[in-house]
Amino acid sequence: MIKIPSQVNRALKILYDNGYSAYVVGGAVRDAFMGRSADDWDITTSALPQEILKAFNGFRVIETGIKHGTVTAIVEGMSIEITTYRVDGGYSDNRHPDSVRFTGRIEEDLMRRDFTMNAVAVSPGGETVDPFGGRDDIEKRLIRCVGEPEKRFKEDALRILRALRFSSVLNFKIEENTAESIHKCRELLKNVSCERIFAELCKLLCGQAAERILTDFSDVIFAVLPELEPMKNCGQKNPYHIYDVWIHTVRSVAAVAPERELRLAMLFHDSGKPKTKFTDENGIDHFYDHAKVSREIAEKSLARMKTSNKLRETVSGLVEYHDFCPHKISKKTYRRYIALLGADTVRSLFEIRRADSAAHAPFVYEQTLKENITGLKILEEIEKEDSCFSIKDLKINGKDLEKSGIEPSPLMGEVLERLLDEVMDDKTENEKEALLKRASELAKGAGNGNS
């Protein structure tokens, strides 16, 4: 017996009291059988959309997807999706049903659902409708298509990535026929919107079994991110590495903290290696400036995925600087990094390095941890100081310059930029008097010989 929240039970009762049948279904039921708590509860019912609206008269309702039969009701503060039992018509675009038909039979509704584990319905009394053995598969931790896998993936190719995502997040195996069809149908993902692909990809990357999925289904990953494919079988013969570039990448993704930006950065960090590979006369492989090329690849791929600018900038910054040497750089350089990337991203670079080195030859890891400790000490010192990383951190502003006779003009902007440079380089103190003096020198052109 699963535990259904009181709000959901209340919604089910409202439907029953109005003469309809209704069940909880989908991810929340699956999670409940696994002993996991869920936030998003879905109800499926014989009531037609207009009938749902009528039954929930007096509640706040949102007509989420009324054409497809979905209404969201807010019951005691909880949003509950209520959908009419439905049969999906043909699919001609590999993603959306051409039409939907409402039905009075729960079994028909369960047939349209993607995987057996997601096609179990439970009534308020605890009666389970489970025509495809979903509970058994949950028990066995197995992802299996409802019906014939190839047909189901051709209907809606997003299901391919949903399968991989569930497998990664829940650490479920993918049943053999389902897995085979995933490989076979992977190119159909080209017909799915990049936003949906990206959302699934991020969840997949942050899942507990990301390493297994990226290894066993690399062909599917390359179908959505072809830029990554050259990493596969790209050897790196040098003392630091024991894996090829793709295996190293996959291991480093799994080693980094499961946050979207960090996992994406690991996925792309060495993507520029195949293009920059150079084998010297001793047979040793070098990849000069690969991080810059990796950055270009990350930027281009993420732009294609239509991600936010902020996410793209963070990931690209992490990729470009993943190879930095935290123990060797000066405070001045740290300040430049902070000015360029932001303090949070600079901190994340340490985690990126740690994960990167965990996927190198074993001796590299210990060394990296030591270097990180040294680097973090420098960073902490900077953070304790009253540091200055941008023009707004300067102890003077445009108004102060105006008072001292520098009119608002491109020259004023240049002077402020120069002052910031000099403060970050410890050449000028970030004190009002010193800055004003230096500003007037710079404005007169007297400071040029000084730096």
- Print burial letters for 335-350: b (CB count within 10 Å at least 16), e (below 16): bbbbbebebebbebbb
Q: CA geometry: angle at 348 spanning 343 and 354, to 5°? A: 145
Q: How far is CA 339 from the centre of its chain?
A: 25
Stretch that binds Mg ion, among 20-28, 138-146, 207-215, 236-244 (CB under 5 A): 20-28
8 Å CB contact between 209 and 171:
yes
**Is 113 a residue that touches ligand ATP (CB under 6 A)?**
yes
**Selected binder of Mg ion within 10, 21, 27, 296 (CB under 5 A):** 27
Nearest CA to 67 out of 86, 43, 80 is that of 86
From the list ligand ATP, Mg ion, none, partner contacted by residue 159 (C-beta under 5 to 8 A by kind) = ligand ATP
Cα torsion angle, 138, 139, 141, 147, sign: negative
Residue nearest to ligand ATP (CB): 27
From the list ligand ATP, Mg ion, none, partner contacted by residue 250 (C-beta under 5 to 8 A by kind) = none
**Selected binder of ligand ATP within 114, 137, 320, 371 (CB under 6 A):** 114
**Is 42 a residue that touches ligand ATP (CB under 6 A)?**
yes
State the minimum distance, in angstroms, from the CB of residue 427 to ligand ATP: 54
Q: Three-state DSSP class for 405?
A: coil
Q: CA geometry: angle at 385 spanning 381 and 387, to 5°? A: 115
Stretch that binds Mg ion, among 33-41, 163-171, 275-283, 333-341 (CB under 5 A): 33-41
Q: How far is CA 184 from CA 188, 237, 264, 272, 351, in A?
A: 9, 33, 26, 28, 37
**Selected binder of ligand ATP within 11, 82, 121, 159 (CB under 6 A):** 159
Strand boundaries in 280-329, DSSP class E: 285-286
Nearest CA to 357 out of 347, 344, 367 is that of 367
From the list Mg ion, ligand ATP, none, partner contacted by residue 114 (C-beta under 5 to 8 A by kind) = ligand ATP
From the list Mg ion, ligand ATP, none, partner contacted by residue 265 (C-beta under 5 to 8 A by kind) = none
Task: Tell me whether residue 150 or residue 285 sits nearer to ligand ATP (CB atom).
Answer: 150
For residue 84, what are the β-bridge partners?
45
Nearest CA to 47 out of 67, 72, 19, 75 is that of 19
**Is 124 a residue that touches ligand ATP (CB under 6 A)?**
no
Task: Tell me whether residue 157 or residue 424 sits nearer to ligand ATP (CB atom).
Answer: 157
List the interface residues with Mg ion, window 34-53 (CB under 5 A): 40
State the minimum distance, in angstroms, from the CB of residue 308 to ligand ATP: 21
State the minimum distance, in angstroms, from the CB of residue 435 to Mg ion: 56
Stretch that binds ligand ATP, among 110-118, 170-178, 326-334, 385-393 (CB under 6 A): 110-118
**Selected binder of ligand ATP within 116, 118, 167, 301 (CB under 6 A):** 118
State the minimum distance, in angstroms, from the CB of residue 123 to ligand ATP: 16
List the interface residues with ligand ATP, window 2-31 (CB under 6 A): 26-27
**Is 86 a residue that touches ligand ATP (CB under 6 A)?**
no
**Is 200 a residue that touches ligand ATP (CB under 6 A)?**
no
From the list ligand ATP, Mg ion, none, partner contacted by residue 65 (C-beta under 5 to 8 A by kind) = none
From the list ligand ATP, Mg ion, none, partner contacted by residue 118 (C-beta under 5 to 8 A by kind) = ligand ATP
8 Å CB contact between 85 and 103:
yes
Q: How many CB atoms lie within 10 A of CB 313?
A: 17
**Is 40 a residue that touches ligand ATP (CB under 6 A)?**
yes
Residue nearest to Mg ion (CB): 27
Task: Tell me whether residue 27 or residue 398 sits nearer to ligand ATP (CB atom).
Answer: 27
H or E segment to which residue 222 belongs: helix 218-224
Interstrand relation of 78-84 and 41-45 (parallel, antiparallel or unpaired) = parallel
State the minimum distance, in angstroms, from the CB of residue 136 to ligand ATP: 17
Q: Three-state DSSP class for 63?
A: strand
> What would the 3-class secondary structure string for 105-165 be?
CHHHHHHCCCEHHHCCEECCCCCEECCCCHHHHHHHCEECECCCHHHHHHHCCHHHHHHHH
Q: How many residues does the chain have?
A: 451
**Is 134 a residue that touches ligand ATP (CB under 6 A)?**
no
Stretch that binds ligand ATP, among 57-65, 154-162, 344-352, 373-381 (CB under 6 A): 154-162
Q: Three-state DSSP class for 65?
A: strand
Task: Tell me whether residue 40 or residue 139 sits nearer to Mg ion (CB atom).
Answer: 40
Residues that bind ligand ATP (CB under 6 A): 26-27, 40, 42, 113-114, 118-119, 156, 158-159
Residues that bind Mg ion (CB under 5 A): 27, 40
